[in-house]
């Protein structure tokens, strides 16, 4: 984990200017999502690391580096952490503010990069598709197409700057499959996230 202060090498109290690597950014975004942007909420650093595919030791190292930059606050000796106000500002600069309610009516929007609320909505609809994929009655080629769309979305969600256009095209493809196979609720949920 590399941090570099951009100004004020001698100013230890000024930790607002820094660069966080990709893993640190993803960790901060997941922490922000899990706490819903509430600095009083405590979560496990190991759970956040698990969401990123990090083992306990790697998650601990990332969290410790973020603590050193005052982006994350330690809450318990067993790995409980919270997001600091400085961390909130950093994440909001990366992905925008958290929407008050990430409900079913969310749309992807026109932003180049998925907002935090959009990311949560996509994660929810992807979980629904995965849960229902076995009951859609898809032939092998269609199921392969669906899995490719899901993998593409998973790859985008693995980035701190998930591209809205790529996610949108995958959702369109999955909606077309659901319309002819599953109908109803899943199709409506997928189409509801699209602007068109």
131 and 52 both lie in a single domain = no
82 and 149 both lie in a single domain = no
Q: Is residue 104 part of a domain?
A: no
Q: Which domain holds residue 24?
A: 3-95
Question: What is the block-wise mean pLDDT of the chain (196 residues), using blocks of 10 residues?
Answer: 35 46 85 80 87 88 88 86 86 66 59 82 83 77 89 89 90 82 67 74
148 and 67 both lie in a single domain = no
121 and 89 both lie in a single domain = no
Pairing of strands 43-44, 3-5: unpaired
52 and 120 both lie in a single domain = no
65 and 7 both lie in a single domain = yes
- For the chain, how many structural domains are there in total? 2
What is the reported pLDDT for 8? 34
pTM of the entire structure? Answer: 0.49
Of 65, 95, 125, the position where a domain reaches its end is: 95
**Token pair for residue 184?**
């109803």
How distant, in Å, are the alpha carbons of 33, 44, 46, 56, 184 from that of 59? 17, 10, 6, 5, 41
What is the reported pLDDT for 152? 94
What is the reported pLDDT for 57? 92
Of 95, 130, 149, the position where a domain reaches its end is: 95
The CATH number for 43's domain is: 1.10.10.10
132 and 177 both lie in a single domain = yes
16 and 53 both lie in a single domain = yes
90 and 120 both lie in a single domain = no
Q: Is residue 111 part of a domain?
A: no
What is the reported pLDDT for 181? 63
175 vs 183: CA distance, rounded Å = 9
49 vs 6: CA distance, rounded Å = 27
**Token pair for residue 8?**
């004020």
72 and 138 both lie in a single domain = no
72 and 155 both lie in a single domain = no
85 and 146 both lie in a single domain = no
Q: Is residue 101 part of a domain?
A: no
């Amino acid at each position: 984990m590399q941090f570099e202060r951009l100004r004020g090498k001698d100013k230890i109290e000024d930790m607002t200017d820094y660069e966080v690597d990709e893993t640190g950014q993803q960790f901060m975004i997941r922490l922000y999502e899990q706490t819903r942007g509430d600095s009083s909420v405590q979560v496990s650093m190991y759970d956040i690391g698990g969401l990123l595919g990090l083992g306990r030791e790697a998650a601990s190292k990332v969290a410790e580096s973020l603590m050193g930059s005052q982006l994350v606050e330690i809450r318990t000796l067993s790995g409980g952490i919270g997001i600091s106000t400085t961390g909130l500002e950093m994440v909001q600069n990366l992905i925008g503010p958290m929407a008050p309610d990430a409900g079913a009516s969310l749309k992807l929007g026109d932003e180049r990069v998925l907002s935090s609320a959009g990311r949560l909505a996509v994660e929810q609809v992807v979980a629904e598709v995965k849960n229902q994929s076995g009951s859609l009655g898809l032939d092998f080629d269609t199921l392969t197409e669906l899995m490719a769309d899901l993998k593409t979305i998973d790859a985008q969600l693995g980035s701190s700057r998930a591209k809205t256009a790529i996610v949108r095209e995958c959702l369109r493809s999955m909606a077309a499959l659901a319309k002819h196979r599953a109908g109803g609720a899943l199709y409506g949920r997928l189409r509801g996230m699209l602007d068109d």
